[in-house]
Structure 1
Amino acid sequence: MTAQNPSPQGPSQGRKTLGVAMIGYAFMGKAHSNAWRNVASYFDVPAFEQKVLVGRDAAGVAEAAAKYGWAETATDWRSVLDRGDIDIVDICAPGWMHAEIAIAALEAGKHVLVEKPLANTLAEAEAMTAAAAAARGKGVQSMIGFNYRRVPALALARELIAEGRLGTIRHVRAAYLQDWLADAGSPMTWRLRKETAGSGALGDIASHAIDQVLFLLGGTVTEVSGRLHTFVSARPGADGPEQVTVDDAAWATLTLDSGAIASVEVSRVATGQKNSLKVEIYGDKGSLLFDLETINELSFQDATLPVREQGFRRILVNEPEHPYMAAWWPQGHVIGWEHTFTHEIRDFLAAVDGGTPPSPSFEEGLAVQRVLTAIEESANAKSATVQLSTAPVRAIEGA
């Protein structure tokens, strides 16, 4: 990964100005736009311009572009790939569009950032990864947007684990719970149709939880068992009730090649939970606890201390020595969820500028996609265990 305590200076001089096109302007488009608009104010990044915002509705995309700082708009994403002034394509469109756009952009020589999950199907994810590998051989970079890797507290957790502070990791618990679909009267959306969403809570938020397991621990998943469930089978549609064809919740047990066991639980019908991501890591020498609702805090238990001194202690992750924090405010001043996207854009730009492959790569996104697919296969087979290959996902030959 790129350095996590980068210089908090302003834009650097003497570099080519990179043109950016972003495809999609809804929820994720807003989050990414905020990051593009602010990153150069806090980090030393190569010069770039927010050139084009792309969306299918001309009026809607024009309104969003004016609000979010994009210079112009387009309604056909293909049109930006032919432009010599576009160097980066940021894909915030729904998952069913990821593969087509990303592959075309990479083949056109554009650096690509794409929101998670990598794709709706394993076959699409594999095709995207192959295209990314081929493009990387020509100096074209690509990255998948797992923004929780850029939470300073979780980045610190990874450092502590890598330093051996927790000893041998035994098991992990990751739970991502939301309630925006708890009301059975909530209307039908594209996220509830398999042909557009790929899966429900599984691909949407379990992808984040699984990526955190892999990010924090390293290694690969070798065995999976899972269950999916749809609690509300039909939702109000434009012409009456429509069948929901994806899951509302998912559960999985993952075995890693290190011997660690991870349990993953996700739901979009967990009444009272708005956007709750909790991660617990237990080793033989210590433990870590993280809760997104207290995003600037990490709880650490050092089990090597005398018993009378043990207990979870609160680390307030806002010192300049902590990952990313030197760029922001004086110590004691907290940051929020939106800052993770600023960190993500900073790291992506640094990789493009330095000609170094960024992380998480499409290969890492494919590793998550393989686990998601195995969970679905296990669920369809009624609690069968699915074995995964221990061979790492390969990057481009010679990279």
Structure 2
Amino acid sequence: MGVNQTLNVGMIGYKFMGKAHSHAYRDVSFYFNPSLKPVLKTIVGRNEVGVKQAAAQFGFEAAHTDWRELIKSDEIDLIDIVTPNNTHAEMVIEAAQAGKHILCEKPLAMNVQEGKEMLKAVQEAGVVHMISHNYRFAPAVQLAKKLIEEGKLGRIYHIRAQYLQDWIMDPDFPLVWRLRKDVTGSGALGDIGSHIIDLARFLVGEIEQVTGMTEIFIKERPMGEMTEGLHAAQSSVQKGKVDVDDAVAFLARFNNGALGVFEATRFAAGNRNKNKFEINGSKGSIRWDLENMNLLEVYFTDDDKSLQGFRTINVTESVHPYVNQYWPAGHIIGYEHTFINLVYELIQGIAEGKQVSPSFEDGVRNQAVLEAIARSAREGAWINVSELL
């Protein structure tokens, strides 16, 4: 580690997720008392002007354009990768070989084989590795996990999960990297479907089989680049072919016998970021919706018959996961705090020499589900996920 019990952070990439991750490193010591204090050392990006502006805004000490030089630097302890998907494997493998701990954005890789190579690299290097599925770290999701583990829902029968967005519905929205297969691997499936797959695995268990379908609603778009957040700027009137899915729907069977119904789309008008799930068991049910992320709806079959119904828990009490680090009961937290909670767990894992979750092993298992869904959509058949592992 760095001197004086610090964790020196090097980040590759600086836009939407770069901002979210940087904020988490800056604020984690304000709310928690991590064993190592993160220091924002160097941020890297291809655009020299843009990355220098990001360094100044986010609080990094330096900005560069060469990620390989960052990885070679002896002063860096942790590499945080928030770049497009087709760059993850090369960066992760080189960072692992340099002995750096690694946080990587989702999905982990372009395919299962890449993911396996990345997992092998971090395991051989003995570094702590984590994939950024931040929604696991919403206190309400953590409470849902606790209820399930304690058997409060009994045997799990169903999960139905949706991730609905609408930000690319305009036919003139540009053909940005998230809509190009050579850069992103898949569309809504990998971008947002990966989140509900990870939540399903986290809460319910491993997925055994899948069958799915995908659709591209707008086949061509003008060329352009991402700007801030999920906004983009058109760079040319020339159009290019969209070759990743706009929407995906799939069914799943879990190893424990549970059934899953899933949908991920970026064409659900009026849904800016609707990430939600319902889980049904023999003793009760739970519901969660990111857009009301502090609330968990809970139903138990053994409640008095005259009082049965879903109750809404405001997951802001000091007894709830992570909440005692923030505000008094009823004082809600937001999206950015999911990253703070994630970063805290990562730092503690590094400090204690323990592997954290979700790890690159989770990333590979998620990738296998993604690949199985894509294969099913092509072949029109049920696919066993284990065939891809």
TM-score under structure 2 length normalisation: 0.94
Shift of 1:256: 0.6
Matched residues in 1 for 2:64 and 2:172: separation?
Answer: 35
Give the conservation status (yes or no) of the 8 Å contact 2:42–2:61: yes
> Does the 8 Å contact 2:25/2:38 carry over to 1?
no
Q: Could you say which residue in structure 1 is the equivalent of 2:308?
A: 310
Does residue 96 of structure 1 match 2:86?
A: yes
Q: Using the alignment, how far apart are the partners of 2:315 and 2:196 within structure 1?
A: 21
Relative distance call for 1:50 and 1:246 in structure 2 (3 A) is same
**For 1:108-257, what aligned pairs fall within 5 Å after superposition?**
108-136=98-126, 140-218=127-205, 220-237=206-223, 238-257=236-255
> Can you list the C-alpha shifts for 1:246-272, whole angstroms capped at 9, x where unaligned?
000001111111000111101001111
Matched position secondary structure for 1:339 = helix
Aligned to 1:26: 15
Which runs of structure 2 are paired with 1:44-59 in the superposition (5 Å)? 44-45=33-34, 46-59=36-49
Q: How does 1:51-70 map to 2 (within 5 A)?
A: 51-70=41-60
Runs of at least 5 residues in structure 2 that lack an aligned partner in the other structure: 224-235
Name the residue aligned to 2:228. none
Bigger drift between 168-177 and 36-45 goes to 36-45
Question: In structure 1, the residue corresponding to 2:118 is in which secondary structure?
Answer: helix
1:232-291: CA deviations, max 9, x gaps? Answer: 111112251211000000011111110001111010011111000111000011000001
8 A Cα contact 2:297 2:313, kept in partner: yes
Residues 296-305 or 126-135, more deviating: 126-135
Which whole-Å deviations, capped at 9, do the CAs of 1:66-118 have from their partners, x for residues lacking one?
Answer: 00100001101000121111010000011111000011001100000001110
For 2:335, give the aligned amino acid: W
CA contact 1:222–1:390 (8 Å) conserved in 2 = no
Give distance in 1, aligned partners of 2:305 and 2:375: 44
Q: Partners of 1:18 and 1:335 in 2: how far apart?
A: 26
Whole-angstrom CA distance in 2 between matches of 1:159 and 1:187:
42
1:376 aligns to what?
A: 374
1:319 and 1:307 map into 2 onto residues whose CA distance is: 27
3-state SS in 2 of match to 1:196: helix
For residues 269-280 of structure 1, the aligned pairs below 5 Å read 269-280=267-278
Inter-partner Cα distance in structure 1 for 2:70 and 2:14: 15
Amino acid at match of 1:227: M
Q: Report SS of the residue matched to 2:70.
A: helix
Matched-pair contact (CA < 8 Å) for 1:143–1:348: yes
How far did 1:389 drift?
A: 2.1
Q: Deviations over 1:32-78 (max 9, x none)?
A: 01111111111111123110011011110000100010000110100
Q: Does the 8 Å CA contact 2:140/2:296 hold for their aligned counterparts?
A: yes
Matched, 1:80 2:70: yes
Counterpart CA distance in 1 for 2:101 and 2:274 is: 32
Contact 1:20 1:52 in 2 (8 A): yes
Q: In the alignment, is the contact (CA less than 8 A) between 1:229 and 1:250 conserved in 2?
A: yes
| Matched residue SS, 1:389 | helix
Tell me, yes or no, if the aligned pair for 1:193 and 1:246 is still in contact at 8 Å: yes
SS in 2 for 1:263: strand
**AA in 1 matched with 2:296:** L
Aligned-pair CA distance for 1:15 = 5.2
Whole-angstrom distance in 2 between the partners of 1:166 and 1:157: 10
C-alpha RMSD over aligned residues: 1.4
Q: Is the 8 Å Cα contact of residues 135 and 141 (structure 1) preserved in structure 2?
A: no
Q: Is the 8 A contact 2:112 2:371 kept in 1?
A: yes
Question: 2:93, 2:39 → 1: CA distance?
Answer: 23
| Distance (Å, rounded) in 2 between the aligned partners of 1:210 and 1:358 | 18
**Hey, what does 1:282 align to over in structure 2?**
280
Q: Which residue of 1 aligns with 2:258?
A: 260
In the alignment, the residues of structure 1 paired with residue 5 and residue 272 of structure 2 have an alpha-carbon distance, to the nearest angstrom, of 42
| Runs of 5+ consecutive residues of structure 1 not aligned to the other structure | 1-13, 394-399
What is the distance in 1 between the residues matched to 2:125 and 2:158?
A: 37
Percent identity of paired positions between Structure 1 and Structure 2: 45
Shift of 1:390: 8.8
* Counterpart-to-counterpart distance in 1, 2:315 and 2:136: 14
Contact 2:85–2:109 under 8 Å retained in 1: yes
Q: Is the 8 A contact 1:257 1:390 kept in 2?
A: no
- 330, 348, 360: which is aligned to 2:346? 348
Report the secondary structure of 2:386's partner residue. Answer: coil
Contact 1:51-1:71 at 8 Å conserved across structures: yes
- 2: CA distance, partners of 1:73 / 1:325: 34
User: Residue 295 of structure 2 corresponds to which residue in structure 1?
Assistant: 297
SS in 2 for 1:130: helix
Q: In structure 1, what is the Cα distance between the partners aligned to 2:150 and 2:247? A: 35
Count of residues in correspondence between the two structures:
375
Give the TM-score taking structure 1 as reference length: 0.92
- The CA deviation at 1:388 is 2.4
SS of the equivalent of 1:346 reads: helix
Residues in 2 aligned to 1:184 and 1:284: alpha-carbon distance in whole angstroms:
45
Instruction: Give the counterpart letter for 2:324 in structure 1.
Output: A
